Amino acid sequence: MRIATSLIATLALVASTVLAAPNDNKHGNQNKAIVMNKKVLQTSKVPFIPHSGTDLFSNWVGLNVDFKYVKPVFDLVSSTPSLGNGTLISRGEAHVTIILPTEYDQILKPAGVTIQELNAMASRKNRLQRSRIRLECLGRVQVVTKSDGEFQQSLQIILKDYKDLIRYRKEVFKLYVKKGGNPALFAPDNFQPHITIGFKNRDIFIEDGVYKGKNACIQKIVSK
């Protein structure tokens, strides 16, 4: 009876060890969430930077982000092959694009919306920089581009809960429509806010066929 009891106990222990194994792997380093300083979310602490010029792609609206809190993530990703797949190029600054250069050049500007108007709307009471955002994940997009047949890869921090950013875009939409713009061409909600971390050869965009949304998540990120 005693032997039987200890045998059952041993079997139970073996069984639980086997069952526990896959779970333990899940919590190994591979899938550990990346921790980011929560100060990265306090964008009101850094100034709004207007982007305007006479060249194509030089006019856009962005939420400035303190690169100091993004740099450690860049360093981690760039030195972890399973994340960055090699070393990456950094721009040395961080931002969330709110109005894309292509949206401005191709849609808003032809309707008579000026970059000065967009900047004024963004900087009134420091409104854009005070936007609340949260971190969704580390995202990665890869594609062999049609234009040059080259492998391209870009890593970014995908955002969530960005109602304030949508609100700004909705106000831009109102101004655009008021000026006679075609509502079919600008969708305030159709927008994938992210902070670019780095890339392989060049950054890639919707025009290259990649979507930087939740679909691109490869690792959890938490702010602490």
Q: Where does this chain bind ligand NAG (CB under 6 A)?
A: 85, 142, 151
Place of tokens 């090699």: 86
| Min CB(207)–ligand NAG separation in Å | 21
Of residues 52 and 142, the one with the C-beta less far from ligand NAG: 142
Of residues 52 and 85, the one with the C-beta less far from ligand NAG: 85
| Min CB(33)–ligand NAG separation in Å | 20
| Min CB(21)–ligand NAG separation in Å | 25
Q: Where are the alpha helices (DSSP H) in 49-162?
A: 71-79, 81-84, 101-103, 115-123
133 exposure class (CB count in 10 Å sphere: 0-12, 13-18, 19+): buried
Long-range contacts of 199-202 (CB under 8 A, 24+ apart): 199/88, 199/89, 199/152, 199/153, 199/154, 199/155, 200/85, 200/86, 200/88, 200/89, 200/151, 200/152, 200/153, 200/154, 201/89, 201/150, 201/151, 201/152, 202/152
Of residues 10 and 87, the one with the C-beta less far from ligand NAG: 87
| Min CB(159)–ligand NAG separation in Å | 23
Of residues 112 and 209, the one with the C-beta less far from ligand NAG: 209
Q: How far apart are CA 116 and CA 192, in angstroms?
A: 24
| Min CB(80)–ligand NAG separation in Å | 12
Residue of this chain nearest to ligand NAG (CB atom): 85
Contact 204, 145 (CB under 8 A): yes
| Min CB(79)–ligand NAG separation in Å | 15
Of residues 85 and 223, the one with the C-beta less far from ligand NAG: 85
Contact 200, 12 (CB under 8 A): no
Contact 33, 219 (CB under 8 A): yes
Q: DSSP letter at 105?
A: I
Of residues 42 and 142, the one with the C-beta less far from ligand NAG: 142
Of residues 51 and 200, the one with the C-beta less far from ligand NAG: 200
| Min CB(35)–ligand NAG separation in Å | 23
